[in-house]
């Protein structure tokens, strides 16, 4: 039962579900529905899809997540960054506006759903760790800039193109003469009101006597007010601005991703990035919210929940979805207790797509663009550049490369370049392990770095302490260090590696040790090990290394020195007052 | 002067150059020249190029390396694996045999030369660490199988095609009816003799009274004997086998890589792989030989030396070169003292290309194929599969993926898949750091793992020791562990992270710590640190983390417990006999 409840979390919270929880969830669902209608339309437009697809992506996927997700309060659906990634990927294989483009978005939802579910089943959530914080930060800031810039044309009422920031800006400049007055008026007013309501609506409502929490929730209705007001304005004034137009009325039609191996192969890398980015964003929101109520989430179960949500999107005319930050916070603040709030939100959106769609005909595109712009600009975090620069140059490079590559080349190149740079910088840092030449502290059995302590060494025996696990990134560096230290000591006969800090030795490092051993042996020098940890020793015993070992494995470094340079060890011992064992 | 000598190693060894060194180098050069002539022709054929290009690639590149390389005895020139990589890359952009194909090989030499020199200048040699030993081993074994299989058609005298092992085998089977008797006879005889001479010629010569060292060198002349004998046989018997044909006579004509941005971009990834693989192979040979004479090499200077050798190849009608294992060993064993041996070898090959090329007209292609087959099969190491499996499953996976992908998909995919798997497995291992809940050992100021020792804990304070540096791959795991441990303790008010084993905290881990701190704070729990190392503390002070810290930074874990749970600390202290400080 417990195991089943882990796979189907609804069995866990569903049993304790009562009227109280239903009321809380219901209230939250109403508020999130109101917030989600303009957002869904806007993000679908950002993804280059008909606005109604945004509504469709906010129905069945929410139900799937409610059944399988491990977060109580995460709200899934279309989000800005994933919509941008969808637009980039789909426009690589089809013309925006074509049926093939819509089909490509469906395939992306299907493939990223499969990838997420597979990662959940095989517990591969750790792959998300490839995305370091600086890379995510750089990517989100760059994406929000790209998205906001991409909306300017809708607000100005002109045509413009381009996938990168320089291209977009050049195209906007080129077409600047075509600015359409009424569109700009509506777009600018909407943008200004949305910025104002984000910052000042809540304090105003509080000053009007509304309690803090409902004021915060009401302040989130800014986009709905703008949508309603602009529809009214268009109907009354008929200013000739671009509008959303016919939106099909009714529930989402069932769909099926087209099977086309070549197309799937072309979209697979993008689907992988969408899955990864969506998962990282979603888990970080879910963990933050869970912690506030001392709940916990399971990353592997999240993969399954998000994956099934995307598969649901693929079979109900949607496009890739994930957990959104803003809407999850609203859901949480509005008092959602269980995933049932998500299912109720789905019901709300379903009702909206049946009854409200005719009203959306006159909704100005410029207002949707304003909604997107204001939402994404709050994601950009320029302060991170300064903070990261101060903290670490290496993390800053990863952030800067991601930011620059995303803006100048594209979103996919940006993420991949960021991952590559952060992995390379990490391997670079690991490739220079700290290796100390050690000698005996007089009067003790302790061995310390010769550079920091007054210690006793002998010309025939070299003690080296390696302060890191040995693996492929530092194996060659260890070879070089040992060889250089040995080359500098003409009287040398024994090298003793102190392995107290070595937690593991991989096959590359083992081969390097064998190489070093043979090279030292050619020069008449024996290689010894001391203080090898249990698990490392177990593994070494499974190789031939210990059979060939030209020296021995010593229990402690002191034992090694006693055996190899008894004279020196005794001198060092007498030099102090008495021995102190650890 | 010292600095200049590091950049131009000739200034170092050139000053002490004398008659004795000249004689040694001269003898080695003669022997290497004899060995290099058939090898150069054969590897050029393997690369899909006219055989004479192999001779050209063994002249100026050797001079460039002699001036700039840091190894005294490394012998550069065409090698098997790089020739295979060249063939793969060039046949991706041009038809084998066409002038465009030869031009592509020239561009590959130019680009990989530039990449190597740039890596040397910016000290980026550590990038080679990406290639772990299991990946290299799997790649070399797979390449040698591919190369040997590719030669079967020449030995059978049939036509066959294919870039992967299954394709090649299928094509050989399909064309098996066309086997040409005389070609097979020559090819099989040559192969058998070469295998025999590799194993039995040296013992035979020793039994005939020749000293061990000259016997070893004479035994290496097997390929030259086969070449000479087969040319004689073709001239005398005229068996109608495929021969090398017209080989241009004279010094290599100067050349210039064609500037074509699209072509360069297409060849860049291959050039990068050629540079990387060539560098790794070369450095490992150079280090092994240097160690035998207690010399050392400089990996950064090697990059410059190899890079200039490739640039020289690009401007003298050659193709990519690197340091070869077999020929470097011969050079070393023959007594080469300085890089001048390489320059003298270049002179030898130049003389050969002026005077000997007419003799090569009748050289059977099957003999070159036999030379290649015997040379590469000695590189395959199937034992590594078993050894690595026994030693570590994770290293075995990297090896097996590289081997399988190289054979079944191709050389470039093979290397890239191998690198990706080994980096992912490493990050996976690092993403699960050891975290111990610690409590006070009664009667001491020591804190140990609650699972292994009888220690005292308090319900309000949780002590956690993290046994690894914190970075992006394990940042999220640490978040999860802290949160889970905290969620399991309803009375908890303080979490103290013991950072004694934390050597660094990157920006991702810092952000995770901030997140954890805020989440704990939402639940009324303060986060403390203890035993933070100096360099980590310095860096934390450059961020805002310490300003927000809900708890404090404690000098030792004991201080922390004393401050947060004085009652418990005193009880624990009294419980033992007396305090023991470290």
Q: Which of B22-26, B53-57, B570-574 has the lowest mean pLDDT?
A: B570-574
Is A338 within the bounds of a domain? yes
Residue from B119, B123, B126 whose CB has the most chain A CBs within 10 Å, to mutate: B126
Q: Which of B134, B504, B543 sits opposite A387 (nearest CB)?
A: B543
Q: Are residues A248 and A337 in the same domain?
A: yes
Chain B nearest CA to A203, separation (Å): 23
Q: How many domains does chain B have?
A: 2
pTM of the model: 0.77
Residue from A301, A383, A391 whose CB has the most chain B CBs within 10 Å, to mutate: A391
- Bridge partners for A436 per DSSP: A465
Domain boundary among A386, A420, A446: A386
- Bridge partners for B440 per DSSP: B447, B456
Nearest partner of B463 among B552, B537, B558, judged by Cα: B558
Residues 6+ apart with CB under 8 A from B262: none
Q: Do A519 and B292 touch (CB under 8 A)?
A: yes
Is A145 within the bounds of a domain? no
Rounded-to-integer distance, Cα B73 and Cα B338, Å: 6
Judged on CB neighbours under 10 Å (0-12, 13-18, 19+), B20 is exposed
Rounded-to-integer distance, Cα A76 and Cα A69, Å: 10
Backbone angles phi, psi at B448, to 5 degrees: -135, 165
Chain B nearest CA to A296, separation (Å): 7
Is A318 within the bounds of a domain? yes
Asked if the C-beta of B424 comes within 8 angstroms of chain A's C-beta atoms, the answer is: yes
Q: Are residues A439 and A381 in the same domain?
A: no
Give 3-state DSSP helix, strand, coil % of chain B, rounded to 5.
65, 5, 30
Residues of chain B with C-beta less than 8 angstroms from the C-beta of A522? 291-292
Looking at residues B332-339, what average pLDDT do you find? 86
Question: Taking every pair of C-alpha atoms in chain B, what is the biggest distance, in angstroms?
Answer: 103
Asked if the C-beta of A420 comes within 8 angstroms of chain B's C-beta atoms, the answer is: no
Q: From the CB of residue B164, how many other CB atoms can be counted at a distance below 10 Å?
A: 18
Q: Do A519 and B424 touch (CB under 8 A)?
A: no
Residues of chain A with C-beta less than 8 angstroms from the C-beta of B387? 543-544
Per-position b or e across B208-242, b if 16+ CB within 10 A of its CB? eebeeeebbbbbbbbbbbbbeebbebbeeeeeebe
Q: Which of A395, A431, A539 sits opposite B507 (nearest CB)?
A: A395
Phi-psi sector, A198: left (phi>0), alpha (psi -120 to 50), beta: alpha
Question: Range of B81's domain?
Answer: 2-129+174-377
Q: Are residues B265 and B357 in the same domain?
A: yes
Q: What is the pLDDT of residue A303?
A: 93
Q: For chain B, what is the mean pLDDT?
A: 88
Chain B nearest CA to A148, separation (Å): 26
- Please list the pLDDT of chain A residue by residue as tens digits (582 residues): 566 777 777 777 777 788 888 888 988 898 889 888 888 999 999 999 999 999 999 999 999 999 998 888 899 999 999 999 999 999 989 998 899 999 999 999 999 999 999 999 988 887 777 788 899 889 989 999 999 999 999 999 998 888 899 999 999 999 999 999 999 999 999 999 999 988 888 899 999 988 888 888 788 788 888 999 999 999 999 888 999 888 888 899 989 898 888 899 889 999 999 999 999 888 888 877 877 776 777 888 899 999 999 999 999 999 999 998 888 888 888 888 888 999 999 999 999 999 988 888 999 999 989 988 988 888 888 988 998 999 989 999 999 999 999 999 988 889 889 988 998 888 888 888 888 899 888 877 778 888 878 888 888 999 998 878 888 888 888 888 898 888 889 889 999 999 877 878 998 899 889 988 988 998 899 999 998 877 788 889 988 899 989 999 998 888 898 899 877 666 665 554 333 333
Is A225 within the bounds of a domain? yes
Q: From the CB of residue B259, how many other CB atoms can be counted at a distance below 10 Å?
A: 9
Chain B nearest CA to A477, separation (Å): 9
For residue A426, the chain B residue with the least C-alpha distance is: B471
- What's the CA dihedral at B226, B227, B231, B232 to 10 degrees? -40
Q: What is the pLDDT of residue A127?
A: 79
Cβ contact A292:A74 at 8 Å: no
Residues of chain B with C-beta less than 8 angstroms from the C-beta of A506? 132, 392, 394-395, 426
Residues of chain B with C-beta less than 8 angstroms from the C-beta of A287? 479-480, 483, 515, 519
Chain B nearest CA to A377, separation (Å): 21
Q: Do A427 and B126 touch (CB under 8 A)?
A: yes
Q: Which of B127, B129, B390 sits opposite A543 (nearest CB)?
A: B390
Chain B nearest CA to A293, separation (Å): 7
Residue from B290, B294, B434 whose CB has the most chain A CBs within 10 Å, to mutate: B294
Cβ contact B56:B123 at 8 Å: no
Residues 6+ apart with CB under 8 A from A199: none
Asked if the C-beta of B378 comes within 8 angstroms of chain A's C-beta atoms, the answer is: no
For residue B479, the chain A residue with the least C-alpha distance is: A287
User: Encoding tokens for residue A29?
Assistant: 């669902």
Chain A from 178 to 237: CB within 8 A of any B CB: none
Per-position b or e across A499-515, b if 16+ CB within 10 A of its CB? bebbeebbbbbbbbbbb
User: Encoding tokens for residue A289?
Assistant: 């919210």
Q: Do A511 and B133 touch (CB under 8 A)?
A: yes
Q: Do B508 and A431 touch (CB under 8 A)?
A: no
Q: Are residues A366 and A443 in the same domain?
A: no
Chain A from 382 to 401: CB within 8 A of any B CB: 387-388, 390-392, 394-395, 399
DSSP A418: H
Asked if the C-beta of A127 comes within 8 angstroms of chain B's C-beta atoms, the answer is: yes
Task: Output the CA angle B119-B124-B126, nearest 5 degrees.
Answer: 135
Rounded-to-integer distance, Cα B453 and Cα A202, Å: 54
Q: Are residues A350 and A203 in the same domain?
A: yes
For residue B291, the chain A residue with the least C-alpha distance is: A519
Tell me the per-residue pLDDT of B3-26, one tens digit each, with 9 for 90 and over.
677 777 777 777 778 888 888 898
Q: Do B134 and A522 touch (CB under 8 A)?
A: no
Domain boundary among B355, B377, B399: B377
Residue from A129, A282, A502, A582 whose CB has the most chain B CBs within 10 Å, to mutate: A129
Residues 6+ apart with CB under 8 A from A47: A53, A54, A78, A83, A84, A86, A87, A90, A105, A319
pLDDT confidence bin for B581, thresholds 50/70/90: very low
Q: What is the pLDDT of residue B579?
A: 38
Per-position b or e across A147-177, b if 16+ CB within 10 A of its CB? bbbbbbbbbbbbebebebbeebeebbeeeee
Asked if the C-beta of B364 comes within 8 angstroms of chain A's C-beta atoms, the answer is: no
Three-state SS annotation for A150-205: HHHHHHHCCCCCCCCHHHHHHHHHHCHHHCCHHHHHHHHHHHHHHHHHHHHHHHHH
pLDDT confidence bin for B2, thresholds 50/70/90: low
* Residue A258, helix vs strand vs coil: coil
User: Encoding tokens for residue B565?
Assistant: 């749970």
pLDDT at B582 over 60: no
pLDDT confidence bin for B494, thresholds 50/70/90: very high
Q: Are residues B373 and B484 in the same domain?
A: no
Asked if the C-beta of B520 comes within 8 angstroms of chain A's C-beta atoms, the answer is: yes
Tell me the per-residue pLDDT of A410-448, one tens digit each, with 9 for 90 and over.
888 898 899 889 988 888 888 888 888 998 888 777 788
For residue B128, the chain A residue with the least C-alpha distance is: A473
Q: Are residues B371 and B446 in the same domain?
A: no
Cβ contact A213:A335 at 8 Å: no
Rounded-to-integer distance, Cα B102 and Cα B258, Å: 11
Rounded-to-integer distance, Cα B425 and Cα A285, Å: 27
Is B405 within the bounds of a domain? no
Asked if the C-beta of B426 comes within 8 angstroms of chain A's C-beta atoms, the answer is: yes
Per-residue CA distances from A423 to A418, A426, B512 (Å): 9, 5, 18
Q: Are residues B339 and B449 in the same domain?
A: no
Q: Are residues B275 and B190 in the same domain?
A: yes
Q: Do A291 and B520 touch (CB under 8 A)?
A: yes
* Residue B382, helix vs strand vs coil: coil
Q: Which of B129, B292, B479 sits opposite A472 (nearest CB)?
A: B129
Looking at residues B483-491, what average pLDDT do you find? 87
Sheet strands (E) in A445-517:
447-449, 461-466, 494-498
Q: Which of A531-545, B151-165, B350-364, B568-582 has the lowest mean pLDDT?
A: B568-582
Q: Are residues A257 and A341 in the same domain?
A: yes
Q: Which of A132, A428, A522 sits opposite B291 (nearest CB)?
A: A522
Q: Are residues B446 and B559 in the same domain?
A: yes
Cβ contact B408:B165 at 8 Å: yes
pLDDT at B390 over 80: yes
Cβ contact A128:A280 at 8 Å: yes
What is the DSSP secondary-structure string of B244-305?
A: ------SSPPP------HHHHHHHHHHHHHHHHHHHHHHHHHHHHHHHHTT----HHHHHHH
Q: What is the pLDDT of residue B323?
A: 92
Residues of chain B with C-beta less than 8 angstroms from the C-beta of A473? 126, 129-130, 426
Q: From the CB of residue B202, how many other CB atoms can be counted at a distance below 10 Å?
A: 18
User: Encoding tokens for residue A300?
Assistant: 């592997």
| Residue A444's CATH number | 3.30.750.24
Q: From the CB of residue A123, how many other CB atoms can be counted at a distance below 10 Å?
A: 10
Residues of chain B with C-beta less than 8 angstroms from the C-beta of A508? 132-134, 395
In chain B, % of residues over pLDDT 90: 43
Is A543 within the bounds of a domain? yes
Three-state SS annotation for A523-557: CCCEEEEECCCHHHHHHHHCCCHHHHCCCCEECCH
Is A464 within the bounds of a domain? yes
Domain boundary among B358, B377, B396: B377
Q: Are residues B222 and B357 in the same domain?
A: yes
For residue B524, the chain A residue with the least C-alpha distance is: A292
Q: What ipTM score was computed for the predicted complex, to two decimals? A: 0.73
Is B240 within the bounds of a domain? yes
Cβ contact A58:A384 at 8 Å: no
Q: Do B287 and A423 touch (CB under 8 A)?
A: no
Rounded-to-integer distance, Cα B170 and Cα B412, Å: 22
Q: Do A479 and B287 touch (CB under 8 A)?
A: yes
């Amino acid at each position: 039962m417990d195991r089943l409840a882990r796979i189907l979390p609804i069995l866990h919270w569903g049993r304790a579900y009562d009227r109280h929880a239903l009321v809380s969830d219901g209230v939250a669902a109403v508020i999130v529905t109101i917030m989600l209608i303009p957002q869904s339309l806007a993000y679908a437009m950002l993804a280059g899809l008909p606005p109604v697809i945004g509504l469709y992506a906010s129905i069945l996927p929410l139900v799937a997540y409610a059944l399988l997700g491990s977060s109580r309060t995460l709200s899934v659906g279309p989000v800005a960054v994933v919509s941008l990634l969808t637009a980039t990927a789909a426009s690589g294989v089809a013309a925006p506006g074509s049926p093939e483009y819509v089909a490509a978005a469906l395939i992306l939802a299907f493939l990223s759903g499969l990838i997420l579910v597979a990662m959940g089943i095989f517990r591969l959530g750790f792959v998300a760790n490839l995305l370091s914080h600086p890379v995510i930060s750089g990517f989100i800031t760059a994406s929000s800039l790209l998205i906001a810039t991409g909306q300017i044309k809708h607000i100005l009422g002109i045509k413009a193109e381009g996938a990168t920031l320089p291209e977009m800006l050049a195209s906007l400049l080129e077409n600047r003469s075509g600015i359409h007055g009424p569109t700009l008026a509506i777009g600018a007013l909407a943008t200004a009101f949305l910025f104002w309501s984000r910052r000042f609506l809540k304090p105003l409502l509080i000053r009007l006597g509304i309690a803090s929490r409902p004021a915060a929730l009401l302040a989130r209705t800014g986009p709905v007010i703008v949508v309603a007001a602009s529809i009214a304005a268009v109907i009354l004034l008929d200013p000739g601005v671009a509008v959303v137009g016919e939106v099909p009325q009714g529930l989402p039609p069932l769909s099926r991703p087209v099977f086309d191996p070549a197309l799937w192969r072309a979209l697979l890398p993008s689907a992988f990035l969408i899955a990864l980015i969506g998962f990282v964003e979603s888990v970080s929101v879910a963990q933050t919210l869970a912690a506030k109520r001392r709940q916990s989430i399971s990353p592997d179960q999240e993969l399954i929940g998000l994956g099934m949500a995307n598969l649901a999107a693929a079979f109900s005319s949607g496009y890739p979805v994930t957990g959104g930050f803003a809407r999850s916070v609203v859901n949480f603040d509005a008092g959602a207790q269980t995933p049932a709030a998500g299912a109720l939100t789905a019901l709300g959106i379903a009702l909206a797509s049946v009854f409200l769609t005719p009203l959306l005909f006159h909704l100005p595109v410029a207002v949707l663009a304003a909604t997107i712009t204001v939402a994404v600009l709050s994601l950009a975090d320029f302060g991170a550049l300064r903070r990261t620069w101060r903290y670490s140059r290496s993390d800053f490079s990863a952030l800067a490369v991601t930011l620059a590559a995303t803006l100048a080349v594209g979103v996919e190149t940006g993420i991949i370049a960021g991952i590559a740079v952060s992995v390379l910088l990490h391997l670079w840092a690991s490739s220079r392990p700290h290796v100390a030449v050690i000698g005996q502290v007089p009067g003790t059995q302790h061995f310390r770095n010769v550079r920091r302590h007054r210690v006793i060494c002998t010309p025939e025996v070299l003690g080296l302490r390696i302060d890191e696990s040995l693996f492929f990134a530092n194996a060659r560096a260890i070879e070089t260090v040992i060889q250089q230290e040995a080359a500098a000591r003409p009287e040398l006969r024994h090298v003793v590696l102190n392995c107290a800090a070595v937690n593991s030795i991989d096959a590359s490092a083992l081969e390097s040790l064998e190489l070093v051993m043979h090279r030292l042996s050619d020069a008449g020098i024996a290689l010894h090990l001391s203080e090898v940890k249990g698990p490392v020793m177990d593994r070494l015993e499974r190789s031939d290394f210990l059979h060939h070992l030209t020296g021995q494995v010593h229990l402690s470094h002191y034992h090694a020195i006693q055996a190899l340079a008894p004279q020196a060890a005794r001198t060092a011992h007498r030099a102090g007052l008495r021995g102190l064992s650890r």
